[in-house]
Structure 1
Amino acid sequence: MTFVQLIECRTSRFDEMDRLMDDWVEQTKGKRTATHDLVGRDRSDASHFIEIVEFPSYADAMRNSNMPETDKIFREMVALCDEMPTFTDLDVVRDEQLCTANALRFFETMAAAGELPPLDGLLAEGYHDHDPANEQDTIGMDAMRREIGMWRAGFDFAFAVDDQIAQGDRVCNRWTWHGMHKGEFLGIAPTRRRVTMTGTTVFRFGEDGKIAEGWWQYDRLGLMAQLGALDALEN
């Protein structure tokens, strides 16, 4: 079970403490068992800091704590604090990756049957879309609805998200797209063919959890070949 430790302290010497933590990271390289570390400052009290450290398990956290380097750094950290730090140990009972979940919801929403659902819960109003197949970037929610509408008019389709990697405010999605060509698409009359293509989309999220920017790479040439659009060129 994932384990999280909250470390709270008050200090007027945060810059020194920050350098101390850099020293600890360097000294324990290859030994640390923590998987994620986050430090936040209290907006209502500039001397109040909270460090959130994630471990795969409580046992891994104890191995981390028992390293001699950790004990040494802890004693030096206490000397920089205005009062004794406090520790809260948490077993994680629910863990939602909100940005990755919203990315999945966006792919599902694009492919939803019937009328395209509202996007304001998923996209920022000034959403900026980068698609190398378009001469100009698509900017704004209304423009994005028109872009999605072009694909929905041409195909019944669905996305299968094969992989997601999240880092900071970005989520990288590797996907497979399956569609049936039901309507005109880029001047190609409906063929009723079932087609597929693969691609990758990187989304940048705003502080509100909405998608603010997207970069797409996908096999559009392969899609056109499946639609027969390249047959005349080959002949």
Structure 2
Amino acid sequence: MEDSKRLMQRFVEFINTASEKLAEELISPKAIFHVPGRPEPVTGPAGYLEIIGMMRGGFPDIQWTLEETITEGGNVAARFTMRGTHQGSFFGVPPTGKKIAVQAMNFYHWSNGQIVGERGQPDLLGLLQQIGAAPM
């Protein structure tokens, strides 16, 4: 359990910095990531950096806070809060300058100290509402 906590702390450091070095350390080259809104998963460290790049394209200052985790063997359920400022186009919505605070639930599969899979579910409706792209 302590290993899982330590690995998740390193993972949060990775997603908040988009460090290629940490990506190589923490993500298996064969890892599979299921991304909402995409028909096919992305893979490996480059795939995860692509996900982060998509978020940073709309919210360059985005930061993730790990709120809680539940661990069972090599599986971790994690609840995050994403915070940032809408300064770039996101899902076709031009920048509004509005701040967001959005919850996300992600499920990770770890093996030998690396992520081998993730299914994530951010509150995209809440995010779109906060930037004025969807009705409240």
User: Normalising by structure 2, what TM-score?
Assistant: 0.88
Deviation at 1:216, TM superposition (A): 0.8
Q: What amino acid sits opposite 2:121 in the alignment? A: Q
Query: Partner amino acid for 1:164?
Result: T
The structure whose Rg is larger is: 1
- CA distance in 1 between counterparts of 2:107 and 2:3 reads 15
The answer (yes or no) to whether the contact 1:157–1:178 under 8 Å persists in 2 is yes
Aligned to 2:53: 149
Give distance in 1, aligned partners of 2:47 and 2:65: 24
Q: Is the 8 A contact 1:204 1:212 kept in 2?
A: yes
101-110 or 143-152, which deviates more: 101-110
**Paired residue for 1:222?**
126
Structure 1 gaps, min length 5? 1-95
Aligned twin of 1:124: 28
Shift of 1:131: 2.4
The separation in 1 between residues aligned to 2:82 and 2:41, in whole angstroms, is 22
Shift of 1:204: 0.4
- The residue aligned with 2:63 is 158
Q: Which runs of 4+ in 1 moved over 4 A?
A: none
2:113 aligned partner: 209
Judge conservation of contact 1:129–1:138 (CA < 8 Å) in 2. yes
- 1:171-186 alignment, distance < 5 Å: 171-186=76-91
Deviation string, structure 1 residues 147-170 (Cα, Å, up to 9, x no partner): 211111211111121111111111
Q: Is the 8 A contact 1:100 1:171 kept in 2?
A: no
CA distance in 2, matches of 1:228, 1:178: 16
Equivalent residue, structure 2, for 1:170: 75
What CA distance in whole angstroms lies between the structure 2 residues aligned with 1:228 and 1:105? 33
For the residue of structure 2 that corresponds to 1:120, the secondary structure is helix
Any idea what SS the aligned residue of 1:161 has? strand
- Structure-2 separation of matches of 1:134 and 1:199: 17
5 Å-filtered alignment, 1:65-144, equals: 97-112=2-17, 116-118=18-20, 119-144=23-48
SS of alignment partner, residue 128 of structure 2:
helix
* Residues 191 and 134 of structure 1, relative CA distance in 2, 3 Å threshold: same
CA contact (8 A) 1:108 1:158 kept: no
Identity of aligned residues (%): 27
Contact 2:33 2:47 in 1 (8 A): no
Question: C-alpha deviations, 1:156-200, integer Å up to 9, x for none?
Answer: 111121111111111111111111111111221111110111121
Match of 2:94 among 174, 189, 195: 189
Aligned-partner SS, 1:135: coil
- Number of aligned positions between the proteins: 133
Could you list the runs of 5+ residues in structure 2 that have no partner in the other structure?
none
TM-superposed deviation, 1:127: 1.2
TM-score, normalization: structure 1? Answer: 0.53
